Every structure is written in structure tokens, then in C-alpha cells.
Chain A
Amino acid sequence: MKQFVASLLAVMVWAVSTPGVALAQNGPLRIEITEGVIEPLPYAVPDFVGETAAAQQLAQQIARVVAEDLTGTGLFREVPREAHISQITSFGSPVQFADWKAINAQALITGAVSSEGGRIVVKFRVWDVFAGTELGEGMQFAGTPDGWRRMAHKVADQVYSRITGESGYFDSRVVFVSESGPKDQRAKRLAVMDYDGANVQYLTGGNALVLAPRFSENGQRVLYTSYETGMPRVHVLEVGTVQSRILQGQDGVMSFAPRFAPNGQTVVYSLTQGSNTDIWAMDIGSGGTRQLTSAPSIETAPSYSPDGSQIVFESDRSGTQQLYVMSASGGEARRISFGQGRYSTPVWSPRGDMIAFTKQNAGRFHIGVMRTDGSEERLLTASFLDEGPTWAPNGRVIMFARETQGAQGSSSLYTVDISGRNLKRVRTPEGASDPSWGPLQ
């Protein structure tokens, strides 16, 4: 409770000190996501029309997932179906705007699902109720019935992007570590899931301890650290075939904290030789390596800028963990974190404008964001142990792991807006940690 109040407080303080946002009341239907939306936009999404008998149930389910996606952002508020006056019974019929205005639904999403020969087609339209016009053009997606959630996410991504002007993040996947068992014997497996926790698939068996998976830019490969050989070593896994191999198997050294460069060909990671941990880069094709830092301190958690030209990392060269930025080819690094406490696990945003990090201060952990020069630091969360942020593909939301205190402590995944609002737990079948958010599919 105390944790919740603390994080809420932090958010509120921040919210009053920045220009908020706004729903355009007059003019076109639009949410400007500046830094945080104070008042979510009311919308209605009646059940989609099932145009064939087999599509009836999916038509309802798809509309529900669209609503979960949109409402889940905190930017939209669904007008409950019980309040609807009009019913949408045919995709082609004219919309009775007055009925939707009367319940103050500013946006209306209508859709239909049909099935034929083992495939389903989902079509939808978005309406600006108060302007009485269609927003964008109708679209349709086709696929197999078991991919219905993805099609729902695609619809929601379209709605999100038409109303906010930014790309969505619903049709995306997250690779993470699924955890079970007590703290001293915790079993860890790599798993992937949809961004909302649905469709979990396991990628490793759980015999070997695995840590910190990271998606490649295109989501086809995953880097991770495995103790399969007894030593922590960087592995690479092909998501399609679930085949993996050791990338860094040099005898007697530990390798960990890997991350892909945007080109998908270079990998940066930490290598420990003796007591010293430095950052190295490897060309994944040739296996050629190059040392990027050479200090007697701990250098770890490297992350590329989206243009691949720079790397942000953490180092305790000053005595405590702080964030530094260097050229992707190594060399001189410049410190960017100067606040109270210790900074770690920096991750460059996909937009290139911010860096998310973990911060430890006064016995608490925080997830925060700052500009790439270290300015405008903002803490988004506070708890006993928050760790390891990862960015949604559109750079508006961060997922991270939160571990609870004590002997029964366990880890779960949460998302939070970069404004610090809309903190939510992601439903996973077991404990979960080390999320890495993949691209929009």
C-alpha cells in the first residue's frame, strides 16, 4: 500500500508540473499524447457482427480484445455496452450518430467477422461520432481462426494510431523469463507471449538457469544468458526453430548481458575475466570480437541507440553504478547520470530521445527515464525491487519486473506509461522477470 501511494504521489507531482494534455473537444477526433493524458477519450466498441455462424463467437471476442487494448492504454475509456442505444447488426448499415452522441462516445468502432474455408476475415471502421464522419478508411485483415487475437490487436493498433497519430504496440510480443519454485531453487525458462500476456510459449526447458533474453530488432532471434555449461554464457536462439547455440564460449570466462545492435549483426555483452567485467562486441556472422571498454571497474548492461552509433551502459568506475554513453566503437565515455543513488540497466528508447533505467536510492528501486544527455530525469515507479525496463515499440510504454519482498517473494511483469501513469500488472501463468519487448509485427 505504501509503495502504491509513493508511486502515485510521484506521478501526481510530476503531472502538475508539466503541461498536460488534451482531448480536442472541438475539431477532429484526436488525442495528443504529449506527456500524459488526464482525461481518457470515451469510445464505444459494440460486438463485431458475425457474418457467418462460425464467426459469431470470434466476433464478440475480437471486439473485447480491441477494448482491452484501447482501455488498457489509459488513453481511452470504454462506454459500457449496457449504455448503448443503437445496436450494430450490419457492418454496412448507416451509423446512427445521435445514439452514440447521446452516450458521449466520441469514437465508435464497428466491425464484422466472417469465416470461410478455415480462414477468417476481420473488417472494421472507426467513426468520429461528433463530426459524424469516418476516421480513416475501413480495413480488413485475414488469417486463420487461431490467430484471432493478433487480428484484434491489429484493429486496435489502427484505432490507436488514427486517434493519436502515433504507431501502436498491441500486435507485439515479449520474450521474458518464466519463474517457478522457491527463491533458493528458482527454475527459470525462456518464454514468449503477446504483449498482454496471452499465448505464452516456452523456449527452453528449465534445467539450466537462464537470464535476460533480448529480442533482435526484427523479433526473429533472442540473445540470452544460460548456465547450461556451468558458466554463464551468451547464447543466441532462433525463435522460429527454437534452436540455440553458444555465442561466447571462451574457456574460463563468463559472458552475459547481451543485446543486439539495430543491424541485427552485432552483439554487445559483458565479459568477465578475473575480477574485471568489460563490454565487448561480436559480429554474429564471423564470430570476430572487439573490446569496447577497458577499465578495472564493472562495465555492463550495454544498449545501442536506435541508429546504432552510440552505446549507453552502466559502470561503477566512479565508485557506484552510473550511466555512461560512448561511441559504438568504444573509446571515451561520458557520464550522464548525476542524481542521488545508483543507476543501472539503461535502455535506449526506440525513438532515440530517452533512456530508461533502474535506480536504487535509499533502499528503494525505481524505474525512470531521462533524456539521452541525462537531463529531465523522471522516476516512474517505486517499490522494494523494480528492475530491467524495456520499451514498447512506439516508445510510449515501459515494461519491467517487480519482485516482492521476503521469503515468499516472487517476480511479476508490469507496464507503466512514460508519464508514470497507468501502472498495470501483466498477467502471466507463473512468476516472470527480465522482459524484452519485441517489434510491432
Chain B
Amino acid sequence: MRLTAKITMLIAVLAVSACTNANRFDNGAVDLNAATGNAGGILPGSASDPRSPAYFQQTVGDRVLFAVDQSSLSPEARATLDGQVQWLLTNSDYNAVIEGHADEQGTRAYNLALGARRANAVMEYLVAQGIPSNRLRFVSFGKERPIELCSEEACYAKNRRAVTIISAGLTG
């Protein structure tokens, strides 16, 4: 995820305006046409630009966590998602892909299905709060892409997640 942020910033600094593969699930694919505008001293696209995906990721909060083998949203998760809703409503040029993940305690196929449940729980919440479903997609990575590597609950807790990845809007 940190890598995605770096890439986003780098692209913004270079002010390259190529519209990359809007229809594909490229995590870092950001339509920079949408990130321009009156920034008033704020570097457009940087984490300090409230309209930037980097801001969404770092300040709004791009992820929610889940209990073991669960896909229900905690109050804390809902608060984060409410922030995501506000951002997505304000920045209607962006779409989002929600990635669901599981920790390593489980078999591969089940964890794929469990990750899908988690991503879908997020997607349904965002849609219920007014984000058009055609701006959202989801995918599960099961236990294939942990961000924390230890085999302890401290790591597992961070790996049981759904991450909302901002992508270029189809209209970019």
C-alpha cells in the first residue's frame, strides 16, 4: 500500500497526464486529470491535497479490519467507511476497487471466499450510504497478500482487512 502511495505521488510530481487503463484493476492507476484543479499552494495529488487518492489513503483511511472468520463491520469500521463515503461523494470522478483479505489461518479456497465476503460487506455499506454501485468493484486475495508477516494475532489482525483502492474514473 505504501508503494501505491509513492507511485501516486511520483506521478503527480511529474505531472504526467496519461490516463492509464481505467477499466483494469491496476491498484496504482490514477487519472491525474481528475487530480488537478485549484490547489492553492497544496501540491495537487499529494497527501495534503484533500482531493487526492493519497489523502484518501492516509487521512480518510483506506482500510477496515475484521474479527477472526467474520465479515461484519465494527462501529470503528463503519466510522472509517463513513469517511470514505464522504470522500467518494465529493470526488465523484474516482471509482474504487475494494480488496478483501484473510489471515493465513485457513485454507486457500475458503479464505478467497471469506475475503470476498469482507470486501462485499464494505461495498454494500458504501452503496447503502449513496455511492453508485457502478463506481465500485471488489476482489478477494484470500490469504495471498498479507501486509504483516508474523504468525501471531498482532499480524493476523492487520491482515484481516478490506482495503478501498481509489482508481481512475471511467469518465477521466
Interface string of A404-418 (1 = CB under 8 A from B): 011101000000000
A114 at the interface (CB under 8 A from B): no
Contact A275 B139 (CB under 8 A): no
Partner of B116, one of A275, A345, A358, A385: A275
Q: A275-B71, A384-B151 are in contact. Are A256 and B139 (CB under 8 A)?
A: no
Which residues of B lie under 8 Å from residue A298 when comparing CB positions? 110, 113-114, 117
Contact B107 A272 (CB under 8 A): no
Q: How far is the CA of A184 from the CA of B120 in the complex (A)?
A: 23
Partner of A183, one of B105, B106, B149: B149
Q: A275-B121, A385-B104 are in contact. Are A256 and B25 (CB under 8 A)?
A: no
Partner of A252, one of B107, B114, B137: B137
Q: How far is the CA of A232 from the CA of B113 in the complex (A)?
A: 11
Which residues of B lie under 8 Å from residue A387 when comparing CB positions? 107-108
Contact A275 B117 (CB under 8 A): yes
Q: How far is the CA of A212 from the CA of B104 in the complex (A)?
A: 16
Interface string of B136-149 (1 = CB under 8 A from A): 01011100111101
Interface string of B19-42 (1 = CB under 8 A from A): 000001110000000000000000
Contact A254 B116 (CB under 8 A): yes
Interface size class on chain A is 35 or more
Q: A186-B144, A301-B107 are in contact. Are A256 and B149 (CB under 8 A)?
A: no
Which residues of A lie under 8 Å from residue B14 when comparing CB positions? none
Partner of B112, one of A183, A254, A358, A403: A254
Contact B139 A254 (CB under 8 A): yes
A360 at the interface (CB under 8 A from B): yes
Q: A184-B147, A298-B117 are in contact. Are A270 and B109 (CB under 8 A)?
A: yes
A314 at the interface (CB under 8 A from B): yes
Q: How far is the CA of A434 from the CA of B104 in the complex (A)?
A: 15
Interface string of A221-246 (1 = CB under 8 A from B): 00000000111100000000000000
Q: How far is the CA of A63 from the CA of B117 in the complex (A)?
A: 54
Contact B113 A277 (CB under 8 A): yes
Contact A231 B107 (CB under 8 A): no
Which of A275, A300, A434 has the most chain B CB atoms closer than 10 A to its own CB?
A275
Which residues of B lie under 8 Å from residue A275 when comparing CB positions? 71, 116-117, 120-121, 124
Q: How far is the CA of A182 from the CA of B107 in the complex (A)?
A: 19
Contact B139 A232 (CB under 8 A): yes
Partner of A358, one of B104, B107, B147: B107
Contact A403 B113 (CB under 8 A): no
Total chain B interface residues with beta-carbon distance under 8 A: 30
Q: How far is the CA of A326 from the CA of B112 in the complex (A)?
A: 22
Q: How far is the CA of A301 from the CA of B113 in the complex (A)?
A: 11
Which residues of A lie under 8 Å from residue B71 when comparing CB positions? 275
Which residues of B lie under 8 Å from residue A360 when comparing CB positions? 105-107
Contact A272 B116 (CB under 8 A): yes
Contact B139 A230 (CB under 8 A): yes
Contact B107 A230 (CB under 8 A): no
A155 at the interface (CB under 8 A from B): no
Interface string of B110-138 (1 = CB under 8 A from A): 10111011001100100000000000010
Which residues of A lie under 8 Å from residue B113 when comparing CB positions? 270, 272, 277, 298, 300
Within 8 A of B (CB), among A254-303: 254, 256-257, 270, 272, 274-275, 277, 298, 300-301
A209 at the interface (CB under 8 A from B): yes
Min distance, Cβ B19 to any Cβ of chain A, angstroms: 17
A388 at the interface (CB under 8 A from B): yes
Within 8 A of B (CB), among A324-349: 344-345
Which residues of B lie under 8 Å from residue A229 when comparing CB positions? 24-25
25 contacts between A and B (CB under 8 A): A182-B149, A184-B146, A184-B147, A209-B144, A211-B108, A230-B26, A231-B139, A232-B139, A254-B139, A254-B140, A257-B109, A270-B113, A272-B112, A272-B113, A275-B71, A300-B110, A300-B112, A321-B107, A344-B106, A345-B107, A385-B104, A387-B108, A388-B107, A406-B149, A406-B150
Q: A183-B146, A385-B105, A406-B151 are in contact. List 4 more A-B contacts (CB 8 A).
A: A272-B113, A275-B116, A316-B110, A344-B110
**In the complex, the 9 A-B pairs of residues with the closest C-beta atoms, listed nearest first:** A230-B25, A407-B149, A275-B120, A277-B113, A257-B109, A298-B113, A344-B107, A405-B151, A300-B109
